[in-house]
């Protein structure tokens, strides 16, 4: 019995441990599972199309190259969606993207994404980005006017909005760490639900008379919002089981204490009183580095947790990569994240190599400005500038720290080095070839 008493706390920890590490979408069990949107089979997400019928195009999309007319919406904004229902290739990969265009004075009204953290990039104009904390933060309002090239992050489940404060149209691109992030428009949910929330409930909650609530319910914008809501029905009505990638946050923010002495999975939190407002925002990738300073002809500007402490516990990060003509981001693997990217200028050959499950199939396409791609977690891939001008891409990951394994450097420049006989056998070449390759990467660690 004494032994049982000693074991009880350990058993409790084992039972509760999975609850502490569940997050976002389920991990994939194969390279690709292109969504069969017409299947009558009900699963968490979508069933897979047969591999032979999927083709190559499911990894690529040109849908967000152009946006819609924001003046067509009463909100003065238009969303071009790239969730799984519009991009079947992201099924099981735990990522999606949207483009949002704003007329002057247009807004993406207060809303919540129940199943995803959002990371975004303003590409034109000036947007006021507002985030409202939960009761834990005293419902604090965080905000900043962001301009082209600046970024923001919205923790999963927090209410937020964007508003065009400029005199010209504005555009942003956002990525989510879910294939189906869900959306709850707060005004529509309160005043345009079907059936409606009883007026006395709202009257008490809002501390106003019933006639004010009835006015809000009857407002034409609520009726227009119902039309908008139908566009998001797939998102709102298809909840996902959460069990993968980075641990879920247990509070609104946990700004990384990069100098903290406590060892945890990720980083410990700074005291909330010392974090300030700036941790939600960054201008670091507004400009890139010199790609000619690197022998690969490319330069990576990182925005993982070590460079952007605000993403700690939020399961997202971003990079900007600039390429000289003929420059490459050499074959590499991200062991902890799926990657979703957009070419912002130039022409990049994007190559992905499947695992043995696909016969190590090579998927590729020349991706141009405004076009997107997705790289499943753990698959080898690269980018190569095939144009005559410099090229740039911005990529997002569904991990605060996706990790990277550069395949050439790992094979031939590790410290200590991989023994030559191992590589001779693996590569089926003579030792002098292996030694030549090692000499090219000597001193890079």
Whether the predicted pLDDT of 112 surpasses 50:
yes
CATH number of the domain enclosing 375: 2.60.120.10
Residue 78 maps to a domain: no
Domain count within the chain? 3
Rg (CA), the chain: 24
Q: Judge if 295 and 378 occupy the same domain.
A: yes
**What confidence score (pLDDT) does residue 44 get?**
75
Q: Judge if 308 and 394 occupy the same domain.
A: yes
Whether the predicted pLDDT of 243 surpasses 60:
no
Q: Which residues of 170-180 are buried (b: 16+ CB within 10 A; e: fewer)?
A: bbbbbbbbbbb
The two structure tokens encoding residue 383:
């980018």
**What confidence score (pLDDT) does residue 7 get?**
39
Whether the predicted pLDDT of 247 surpasses 90:
no
Residue 110 maps to a domain: no
- Taking only the tens place, the pLDDT of each residue in 384-418 is 999 999 999 999 999 999 999 899 888 888 888 88
Q: Judge if 302 and 353 occupy the same domain.
A: yes
What are the residues whose beta carbons fall under 8 Å from the beta carbon of 83, sequence distance 6 or more?
Answer: 90, 96, 98, 176, 179, 180, 181, 234, 235
Q: Judge if 296 and 379 occupy the same domain.
A: yes
Q: Which range, of 251-260, 270-279, 407-416, averages the lowest pLDDT?
A: 270-279
Element spanning 230, H or E? helix 220-231
Rounded to whole angstroms, how far apart are CA atoms 431 and 433? Answer: 5
Residue 300 maps to a domain: yes
Residue 389 maps to a domain: yes
Q: Judge if 397 and 321 occupy the same domain.
A: yes
Rounded to whole angstroms, how far apart are CA atoms 414 and 417? Answer: 5
Q: Judge if 222 and 304 occupy the same domain.
A: no
**What confidence score (pLDDT) does residue 234 get?**
32
Q: Which range, of 153-157, 231-235, 347-351, 404-408, averages the lowest pLDDT?
A: 231-235
Q: Which range, of 37-51, 292-306, 343-357, 361-375, averages the lowest pLDDT?
A: 37-51
Look at residues 378, 382, 345, 390 and name the one whose alpha carbon lies nearest to residue 363: 382
Residue 37 maps to a domain: no
User: Is residue 228 helix, strand or coil?
Assistant: helix
Residue 339 among known ligand-binding residues: yes
Q: Judge if 316 and 345 occupy the same domain.
A: yes
Whether the predicted pLDDT of 298 surpasses 60:
yes
Residue 111 among known ligand-binding residues: no
**What confidence score (pLDDT) does residue 226 get?**
41
Residue 281 maps to a domain: no
Query: Which of 231, 248, 270 is the C-terminal boundary of a domain?
Result: 231
Rounded to whole angstroms, how far apart are CA atoms 315 and 288? Answer: 23
Average pLDDT over residues 90-109: 93
Average pLDDT over residues 168-196: 87
| Structural domain harbouring 207 | 184-231
Q: Do residues 123 and 407 make contact, with C-beta atoms less than 8 angstroms apart?
A: no
**What confidence score (pLDDT) does residue 284 get?**
94
**What confidence score (pLDDT) does residue 25 get?**
66
Q: Do residues 89 and 56 make contact, with C-beta atoms less than 8 angstroms apart?
A: no
Element spanning 339, H or E? strand 339-345
Q: Judge if 324 and 219 occupy the same domain.
A: no
Rounded to whole angstroms, how far apart are CA atoms 375 and 351? Answer: 9
Residue 329 among known ligand-binding residues: yes
**What confidence score (pLDDT) does residue 96 get?**
94
Q: Judge if 292 and 373 occupy the same domain.
A: yes
Tell me whether strands 362-368 and 184-185 are parallel, antiparallel or unpaired.
unpaired
Residue 381 among known ligand-binding residues: yes
Q: What is the DSSP string of 61-95?
A: E-GGGS---GGGSTTSEEEEEESTTT-GGGTTT--
- Tell me which of 375 and 16 has the higher pLDDT: 375
Q: Which range, of 13-27, 48-62, 227-241, averages the lowest pLDDT?
A: 227-241
Q: Judge if 220 and 300 occupy the same domain.
A: no
pLDDT interval class at 21 (50, 70, 90): very low
Rounded to whole angstroms, how far apart are CA atoms 267 and 183? Answer: 29
Q: Judge if 383 and 294 occupy the same domain.
A: yes
Q: Judge if 442 and 378 occupy the same domain.
A: no
**What confidence score (pLDDT) does residue 219 get?**
61
Whether the predicted pLDDT of 211 surpasses 90:
no
Whether the predicted pLDDT of 122 surpasses 80:
yes
Average pLDDT over residues 327-335: 91
pLDDT interval class at 275 (50, 70, 90): low
For 113-169, where are the E strands, in sequence order? 118-124, 126-132, 141-147, 151-154, 159-164
Whether the predicted pLDDT of 15 surpasses 60:
no
Average pLDDT over residues 340-350: 96
Look at residues 123, 118, 119 and name the one whose alpha carbon lies nearest to residue 147: 123
Residue 369 maps to a domain: yes
Residue 158 maps to a domain: no
Q: What is the DSSP string of 367-403?
A: EETT-EEEE-TT-EEEEEE-SSS-EEEEEEESSSS--
Average pLDDT over residues 320-346: 94
């Amino acid at each position: 019995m004494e032994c049982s008493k000693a074991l009880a706390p350990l058993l409790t920890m084992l039972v509760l441990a999975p609850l502490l590490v569940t997050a976002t979408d389920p991990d994939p069990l194969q390279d690709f599972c292109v969504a069969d949107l017409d299947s009558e089979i009900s699963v968490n997400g979508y069933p897979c199309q047969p591999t032979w019928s999927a083709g190559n195009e499911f990894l690529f999309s040109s849908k967000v190259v152009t946006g819609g007319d924001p003046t067509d919406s009463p909100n003065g904004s238009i969303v071009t969606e790239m969730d799984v229902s519009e991009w079947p290739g992201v099924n099981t990969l735990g990522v999606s993207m949207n483009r949002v265009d704003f007329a002057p004075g247009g807004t993406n009204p207060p809303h919540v994404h129940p199943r995803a953290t959002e990371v975004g990039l303003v590409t034109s104009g000036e947007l006021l980005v507002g985030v409202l904390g939960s009761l834990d933060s005293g419902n604090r309002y965080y905000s900043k006017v962001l301009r082209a090239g600046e970024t923001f992050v919205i923790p999963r489940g927090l209410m937020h909005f964007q508003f065009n404060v400029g005199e010209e149209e504005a555009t942003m691109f956002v990525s989510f760490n879910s294939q189906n992030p869900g959306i709850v428009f707060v005004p529509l949910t309160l005043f345009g639900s079907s059936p409606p929330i009883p007026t006395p409930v709202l009257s008490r909650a809002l501390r106003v008379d019933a006639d004010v609530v009835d006015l809000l319910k009857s407002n034409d914008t609520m009726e227009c919002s119902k039309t908008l809501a139908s566009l998001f029905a797939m998102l709102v009505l298809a909840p996902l089981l959460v069990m993968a990638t980075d641990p879920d946050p247990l509070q609104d923010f946990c700004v990384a204490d990069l100098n903290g002495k406590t060892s945890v999975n990720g980083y410990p939190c700074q005291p909330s009183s010392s974090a300030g407002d700036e941790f939600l925002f960054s201008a670091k990738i507004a400009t890139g580095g010199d790609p000619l300073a690197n022998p690969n002809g490319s330069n990576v500007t990182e925005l993982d947790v070590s460079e952007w402490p605000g993403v700690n516990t939020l399961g997202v990060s971003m990079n900007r990569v600039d390429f000289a003509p003929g420059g490459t981001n050499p074959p590499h693997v991200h062991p902890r994240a799926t990657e979703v990217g957009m070419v912002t200028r130039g022409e990049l050959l994007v190559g992905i190599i499947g695992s043995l499950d696909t016969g190590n199939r090579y998927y590729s396409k020349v991706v141009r400005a405004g076009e997107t791609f997705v790289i499943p977690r753990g698959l080898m891939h690269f980018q190569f500038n095939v144009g005559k001008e410099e090229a740039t891409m911005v990529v997002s990951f569904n991990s605060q720290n996706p990790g990277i394994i550069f395949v050439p450097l790992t094979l031939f420049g590790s410290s200590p080095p991989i023994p030559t006989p191992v590589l001779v056998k693996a590569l089926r070449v003579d030792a002098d070839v292996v030694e030549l390759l090692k000499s090219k990467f000597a001193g890079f660690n």
